[in-house]
Amino acid sequence: MPYLQLSAPCTEALQPRLERALEDVGALAVTLQDAHLDAADEQAIFEPGVGEVPLWDEMTLTALFDADTDALLLLAALEAFDPELDWSKARFEKVEDQDWERAWLDTFQPMRFGARTWIVPWNHDLPAEADTPDAAIVRLDPGLAFGSGTHPTTALCLRWLDELATAGDLRGKAVLDFGCGSGILALVALKLGAARAVGVDNDPQAIIATRDNAQRNGVAIDAHLPQEEPAATYPVVVANILASALDALAETLAARTAPGGRIAMSGILAGQEDELLQRFAPWFDALRATREDDWMRIDGVRNATAVAG
């Protein structure tokens, strides 16, 4: 089934108004892409922070409409909905439908993180190197939620979990995956020996994807929206969200980490780590920052004296 596709430049400030206008005139789907990166580059996509949507300063906004939609009438309707918006740079083209899941699976190959951790597409053959008794294998189908391991922020957290397991600091423990997306971090933690995993995400589709991926891997993840999250502390916490969300949720994350517990945080661009190191210093000791490409991970140990909140 073909579609009419509208593409237009967009800023963070105007995004809500543009998206409301498109939805009002009948858009079937609206997506956002970092304007500075190629549309096929996954570096442009990362897991949304709890309570917010990932936005860039400059974006390309894309909307799909029924194939028989008249582009000129559509522009007129958009201008009538919000006359202050500028649609002069909008581009239209006919696009054919495709099997998006098949296209994703064709590009997603098995990946290894650390000593034991493997992320493998659910219908892909297991690599020979992963066919060992101690391999932690996660069969993944992200579906509509982000988090396949290919983005550096996720990779940094996966390697941290693998290191934690190698050091004997994960087996038998409860793990909180804050901003769980596809559930990939919680899944890996369980496969590496964690006793229990809880996932939290603001996106209902992420909750569905996390539960589906858990079932596919023969484990259970207790996944919640933020307002439904039970108050508890955990010896291991991972939060692969955005730097702004980490800053806003510092007290919450500190309160969720048990005294002596370990935390890893990513979704941090290089240059943002110093402020976050200072932000979390009242609650965490041995804080360190690790870099991969343009992204950072911060990890540390919850001290026993500071009280969050």
**Residue written as token pair 């955990």:** 234
∠ CA 110-155-292, rounded to 5°: 125
What is the spatial distance between Cα 174 and Cα 221, in angstroms, rounded to a whole number? 11
Q: Is 240 annotated as a binding residue?
A: yes
Give the dihedral sign, CA 211/213/214/215. positive
Q: Per the annotation, does 201 bind a ligand?
A: yes
Backbone φ and ψ of 30, nearest 5°:
-130, 125
Q: What phi and psi, each to the nearest 5 degrees, are found at residue 60?
A: -110, 120
Name, in order, each residue with C-beta under 8 angstroms of 156's C-beta and a sequence gap of 6 or more: 264, 266, 290, 292, 295, 296, 297
Three-state SS for 214? helix
The answer to whether the annotation marks 154 as part of a ligand binding site is yes
DSSP 71: H
Beta bridge partners of 30: 63
Q: Which of 156, 221, 215, 216 is nearest to 189 (CA)?
A: 221
CA geometry: angle 85, 86, 87, nearest 5 deg: 115
- Where is the binding site, in residues? 154, 179, 201, 240
- Where is the binding site for S-adenosyl-L-methionine, in residues? 154, 179, 201, 240
